[in-house]
Amino acid sequence: MVKYIQYKHHGKTVWVREDLMGKHREHCMCYKCEKFHPNEPNNCPIAQELYSFCVRHDMTTPVWECPEFEEVSYERAIEQDNKQKGEKV
């Protein structure tokens, strides 16, 4: 049975499906897309708009389908994985 729990995320109490908590990056296609450059001016406009929506509404929204997706090169995938390992999610 699916269980929903509450926790603090960026200072706000939010609901999450317990089995999906902390797995956003694992599921979101953006993290494996060449156009995804968070916190940079050349970030994907779709990803940026979605991020702005999520911030405004205290949500986390993984992307499973996208018309603009371009799979990252092997080199960039390694770079992203190494960066992610150094970050606390």
> pLDDT digits over 5-37, tens only?
999 988 899 999 999 999 998 999 999 999 999
Instruction: Specify the pLDDT at position 87.
Output: 59
Per-residue confidence band for 82, with pLDDT thresholds at 50, 70 and 90:
confident
Give yes or no for residue 84 having a pLDDT over 80. Answer: no
User: In this predicted model, which residue has the larger pLDDT, 51 or 78?
Assistant: 51
| Longest alpha-carbon distance in the chain | 43
Give yes or no for residue 47 having a pLDDT over 60. Answer: yes
Is the separation of the CB atoms in 82 and 72 below 8 Å? no
Instruction: Specify the pLDDT at position 88.
Output: 47
Which structure tokens are listed for 41? 């001016």
Instruction: Specify the pLDDT at position 89.
Output: 42
| d(C-alpha 34, C-alpha 62), whole Å | 16
In this prediction, residues 45-66 reach a mean pLDDT of 94
Helices (H), 1-89: 24-27, 45-57, 74-86
